[in-house]
Amino acid sequence: MIGILGGTFDPIHYGHLRTALDVQQALGLSQIKLIPLSDPPHRDAPTSTPQQRLDLLKAAVEDEPLLTIDTRELERRGKSYTVDTLLSLTAEQPDETFCLLLGSDAFNGFPLWKEPNQILSLCHLVVMQRPGETDPTHYQDRITHNPSDLSTKASGLILPLSVTQLEISATQIRMLLQHGKSPRYLLPDPVLQQILEKKLYQ
Ligand code: ATP
């Protein structure tokens, strides 16, 4: 079973990395694919180029084989829709089971995404929550709290899962850099080193 975490990763930080590893460990996934998007449908365009964001991602995961990078959204033209990504992943690996990782706030807006029901026919969802957070209120008939249920079906289940809470955002890191302050310890040192060398976000 493979996990998928999409994002702008502008830049990647420990909030993304630790939660991805939390989910991988909790579910015993063979890998988590980090999928940088090119043109996000629901937010402003990223401030750094696709190649810069990709190079930062590579620096972040170079010594962690459980976290891999998938560049298909950067290579596709137009908006990055999750349904299209899942259609291409499942066409390539029809016997594999995929789990899409979503924060609980992203899951709140999930019914408004392009083709949410088709997404649920292609993968399971893992909703990453704060400890003690209540269950999502939509798609209640699909919710399970038992991770082993995910291997009994190919798709369509929703697993709420508590993950480490790190109050880190890419916005905060960009703001610190813009103000000449250090974002060290919010993101891996090799990522910061590259940001400083290339004078990104300044
Ligand atoms: P920005 O501040 O630019 O909006 P971000 O830090 O939220 O960026 P994204 O690339 O937009 O990062 O996030 C990709 C995914 O990672 C989203 O599903 C988001 O909910 C999740 N995520 C981001 N930051 C954290 C964090 N600190 N802890 C857990 N999940 C996070």
- Does residue 39 carry a pLDDT above 80? no
Question: Residues of 16-40 as b/e, b for ≥16 C-beta within 10 angstroms?
Answer: bbebbbbbbeebebebbbbbbbbbb
Confidence label for 43 from pLDDT (cuts 50, 70 and 90): low
The predicted-structure confidence for 124-167, as pLDDT tens digits, reads as follows 999 998 777 888 888 999 999 999 999 999 999 999 999 999 99
pTM (predicted TM-score): 0.94
- Whole-number Å distance between alpha carbons of 154 and 163: 24
Complex-level ipTM: 0.95
143: number of CA atoms within 13 Å, CB side? 12
Query: What ranges make up the beta strands (E) of 43-89?
Result: 67-69
Q: Counting Cβ atoms within 10 Å, is residue 42 exposed (0-12), middle (13-18) or buried (19+)?
A: exposed
- Residues having CB closer than 6 A to ligand 1 are 7-10, 15-16, 19, 102-103, 106, 166, 168-171
Least Cα distance to 68 among 27, 30, 124 occurs for 30
Q: What is the pLDDT of residue 174?
A: 96
Over residues 107-121, the mean pLDDT reads: 96
Whose alpha carbon is nearest atom 29 of ligand 1?
15
CA of residue 149 to ligand 1 center, whole Å: 27
Percent of the chain with pLDDT over 70: 96
Mutating to test ligand 1, I would choose from 5, 8, 187 the residue with most ligand atoms within 8 A of its C-beta, which is 8
Domains of the chain: 2-166 (3.40.50.620)
Cα–Cα separations (whole angstroms), residue 20 to 37, 61, 166:
17, 11, 12
Atom of ligand 1 nearest to the CA of 43: 4
